[in-house]
Amino acid sequence: MLYRYIGKRILLLIPTLFGIIFVSFLILYTIPGDPAVTIAGVYATPEVLEAIREQLGLNKPLPIQFLIYVKDVFTGNFGRSVSSGAPVLSELIPRFINTFELATLSTIFATIIGILLGIISSLKKGSVIDNFSMFLAIIGTCAPSFLIGYLLIIIFSLYLGILPPFGKGELSTYIMPVITLAFWALASVARTTRGSMLEVLGRDYIRTAKSLGIKKRKVILKYALKNALIPVITVIGLNYGYTLGGAVLTEMVFAWPGIGKFLVDSYFARDFPIVRGGILFIGVAFMIINLITDLIYSFLDPRIRFFERETV
Amino acid sequence: MANKSFLIGSVIVGIFIFAAIFAEFITPNDPAEADLSRSLKPPGEGFLLGTDVLGRDVFTRLIYGARISFLIAFATVGIALIVGIPLGLLCGYRMGVFDSIVMRVVDIMLSFPGFMLAVVIAFSLGPSLTTLIIAIGIYSTPLFIRLVRASTLSIKEEEYVMGARAIGETDFNIIFRYILPNCIAPVIVQSTLRMGVSILTAAGLGFIGLGVQPPTPEWGLMISEARIYIREAPHLILFPGLALTLLVLGFNLMGDGLNDILNPRIKKI
């Protein structure tokens, strides 16, 4: 059953992969103007433009161009950046790693703090900590991440002067970007943990365990938490995607050299080989990350194999 | 039954709607009127919330910004509903090849992580208010297709739908008289929540320069324009940020409240 699920899941990636390739192919043509000028820049000489048309096959019919593009993609030929002249992939990979680093650290931070806050809130319902963490949860869901980022900068860089306001370097430059990006996921992890713990704590087997005189700490850690964490794990996986996608805003606030910021900057600099390659890269990377999280779930919770996960 | 979340949410959203409709009566100033002699004034001195670098009244721009936010919220969710509900109904009711194609397209769209999908659509449409609305409309559509499709799949197995089919009702009647009314409750809840998401997404796109263009008083754009003056005038970032947070909170509370009202079986934890 497990192998069949994995096989089916990987087969479904093929149309998605072609879809992503098609979208990144089209982006060059949906942007207004001559694609050759779009790629080479407005100052390119007619000879350069002609060379690009020849190289990309822009004189050929669109379906042929698409086939050439597909061939280029599978042979790893993504062209060169207009502004730096370096191969597109060698520009994208280090920036993707920066974003990946930021998103992963944020997810770990959100998971640890979110679960802790959720557990404490569920055990001390109505207490100061419960109200505080629910307040954090509201801020996390409603406030735009760039507002949180600037609030942190105003407090910790401008008033207290203890953290650098932007850039990526030593450990201290990580603190504010990680917290900013983590906020949204932290809110949803805390809320889910709290709700799930409250539900589990009300079940018969917990009451039985308590009435048998088993220590409270053991009941909570061994019986309640273990069952309460299943929906939390699902939420963390779903959030990871949103965290990766939302990272661009955090990157803009803190001048973090990630792939989202790079893509937006390249778009405004009209460096379209980067934009096209970046869209493809992000789509494929996210597709693989989704696959891995799905597979991890299907090992952890066999029920998922029978019901396809819906992200509604 | 009075629902506290719904009530508070409605009051918040109501205040913003009031401000958006009666902007001209609430503030005498023009949101685009620049005057460099009163650049970067702190809150209080003649201007309730101060002025920005061009000397424009921040309070006035916030009030007029509410108009833009509501326009974006209603128009984008409207597009998502108009496209998403029929597609979801058709996919769920008919299944087959059409359903497979639509679901693959949805998969492809969702293969771009969250906000990046909106960025990619905005890339190909170019930045302006109209394209922003179309971009966020497209961005919101997969949610409603999946939601309506899932509801339709379960409702069409209900006995009353079987009964309607048995007495010879047409497919059209079954879909619109039996299935649609019964899957509308979660759609209403998600539409309300989605308005908050649309406003946040528009602000995010405005913030990175892919959304509404200057001099439109959009909240995300206002924050983006203010960021280089964060040292001299942090209020230029805080006020639009607060307005955004409050309005999104309003929509979220309304949505949560509606969820409790429309699904009385699910007890709130």
A227-241, B115-129, B180-194: which is most confident: B180-194
| B250 and B13 Cβ atoms separated by less than 8 Å | yes
Alpha-helix runs per DSSP H in chain A: 2-11, 13-30, 35-40, 46-56, 62-74, 88-123, 128-142, 145-152, 172-201, 204-211, 216-218, 225-254, 259-268, 272-300, 303-306
The pLDDT value recorded for residue A166 is 85
Contacts of A253 in chain B (CB under 8 A): 227
CA distances from A137 to A183, A191, A226, B226 (A): 8, 7, 23, 27
The pLDDT value recorded for residue A309 is 42
- Check if A32 contacts B (Cβ < 8 Å): yes
Q: Is it the case that residue B36 has pLDDT exceeding 80?
A: no
Task: Select from B156, B179, B178, B163 the least CA-distant residue to B95.
Answer: B156
> Residue A151: closest CA among chain B residues belongs to which residue?
B238
Read off the pLDDT of each residue in B30-57 and give the average, rounded to a whole number: 75
Residue A109 is encoded by which pair of tokens? 């931070």
pLDDT tens-digit readout, B85-121: 999 999 999 888 999 899 888 888 887 777 888 898 8
Query: Could you tell me the residue ranges of all domains in chain B?
Result: 4-27+57-260
For residues B34 and A74, the model is more confident at A74
pLDDT along chain A (312 residues), means of 10: 78 85 83 71 79 73 84 84 85 93 94 92 86 85 92 93 85 93 92 88 81 79 79 80 89 94 90 88 85 76 50 34
| Alpha carbon of A283: minimum distance to chain B alpha carbons (Å) | 5
- Check if A143 contacts B (Cβ < 8 Å): yes
The pLDDT value recorded for residue A56 is 65
The whole-model pTM stands at 0.87
Separation of alpha carbons A141 and A242, rounded Å: 12
Read off the pLDDT of each residue in B30-41 and give the average, rounded to a whole number: 74
Mutation site for B-interface testing, chosen from A198, A249, A266 by largest number of B Cβ within 10 Å: A249
Residue A45 is encoded by which pair of tokens? 């000489």
Query: Which residue's structure tokens are 């409702």?
Result: B155
The vertex-B106 CA angle with B102 and B108, nearest 5°, equals 115
- A 262-281 near B (Cβ less than 8 A): 263-264, 267-268, 275, 279
The pLDDT value recorded for residue A301 is 63
pLDDT tens-digit readout, B229-238: 888 888 889 9
Separation of alpha carbons A68 and A2, rounded Å: 37
Separation of alpha carbons B85 and A304, rounded Å: 27
Separation of alpha carbons A106 and A247, rounded Å: 10
Contacts of B234 in chain A (CB under 8 A): 150, 154, 158
Task: Select from A174, A1, A291, A146 the least CA-distant residue to B225.
Answer: A146
Residue B123 is encoded by which pair of tokens? 């890339």
> Residue A29: closest CA among chain B residues belongs to which residue?
B124
Secondary structure (3-state) at A2: helix
Read off the pLDDT of each residue in B220-248 and give the average, rounded to a whole number: 91
pLDDT band for B66, please (50, 70, 90 cuts). very high
Contacts of B200 in chain A (CB under 8 A): 144
Separation of alpha carbons B77 and B84, rounded Å: 10
- Check if A238 contacts B (Cβ < 8 Å): no
Q: Do B116 and A275 touch (CB under 8 A)?
A: no
**In chain B, count of helices (H) and strands (E)?**
12, 0
Q: Do A144 and B207 touch (CB under 8 A)?
A: yes
Q: Is it the case that residue B13 has pLDDT exceeding 80?
A: yes
| Alpha carbon of A208: minimum distance to chain B alpha carbons (Å) | 21
A70 half-sphere exposure, CB direction, 13 A CA radius: 11
Q: Do A245 and B207 touch (CB under 8 A)?
A: no
Contacts of B246 in chain A (CB under 8 A): 142
Separation of alpha carbons A125 and A221, rounded Å: 17
Contacts of B237 in chain A (CB under 8 A): 147, 150, 154
Mutation site for B-interface testing, chosen from A248, A268, A274, A275 by largest number of B Cβ within 10 Å: A248
Contacts of B150 in chain A (CB under 8 A): 310, 312
Q: Is it the case that residue B28 has pLDDT exceeding 60?
A: yes
Separation of alpha carbons A185 and A155, rounded Å: 22
- Residue A310: exposed, middle, or buried by beta-carbon count in 10 A (0-12, 13-18, 19+)? exposed
Residue A308 is encoded by which pair of tokens? 């396809």
The pLDDT value recorded for residue A294 is 76
Read off the pLDDT of each residue in B21-43 and give the average, rounded to a whole number: 78
Which string of DSSP letters, residue by residue, matches B12-67? HHHHHHHHHHTHHHH--S-TT---GGGTTPPTTSSSTT-B-TT--BHHHHHHHHHH
Share of chain B above pLDDT 70, in %: 96
> Residue A201: closest CA among chain B residues belongs to which residue?
B269
Q: Which long-range contacts (CB under 8 A, 24 or more apart) does B103-107 make?
A: B103/B149, B104/A15, B104/A16, B104/A19, B105/A19, B106/B142, B106/B145, B106/B146, B107/A12, B107/A15, B107/A16, B107/A19
Secondary structure (3-state) at A87: strand
Amino acid at B33: E
Task: Select from A310, A136, A149, A114 the least CA-distant residue to A228.
Answer: A114
- Check if A30 contacts B (Cβ < 8 Å): yes
| A6 and A54 Cβ atoms separated by less than 8 Å | no
The pLDDT value recorded for residue A1 is 65
- B 127-186 near A (Cβ less than 8 A): 143, 146-147, 150
The fold for domain B4-27+57-260 equals: MetI-like fold (1.10.3720)
- Check if A43 contacts B (Cβ < 8 Å): no
Separation of alpha carbons A199 and A71, rounded Å: 53
> Residue B232: closest CA among chain A residues belongs to which residue?
A158
Secondary structure (3-state) at A80: strand
| Alpha carbon of A198: minimum distance to chain B alpha carbons (Å) | 7
Mutation site for B-interface testing, chosen from A26, A147, A191, A243 by largest number of B Cβ within 10 Å: A147
Q: Do B123 and A286 touch (CB under 8 A)?
A: no
The pLDDT value recorded for residue A114 is 93
Q: Do B252 and A141 touch (CB under 8 A)?
A: yes
Separation of alpha carbons A215 and A224, rounded Å: 13
For residues A8 and B21, the model is more confident at B21
Tally A–B CB contacts below 8 A: 145
Q: Which of A16, A264, A279 sits opposite B208 (nearest CB)?
A: A264
Residue A250 is encoded by which pair of tokens? 């955090």
The pLDDT value recorded for residue B265 is 57
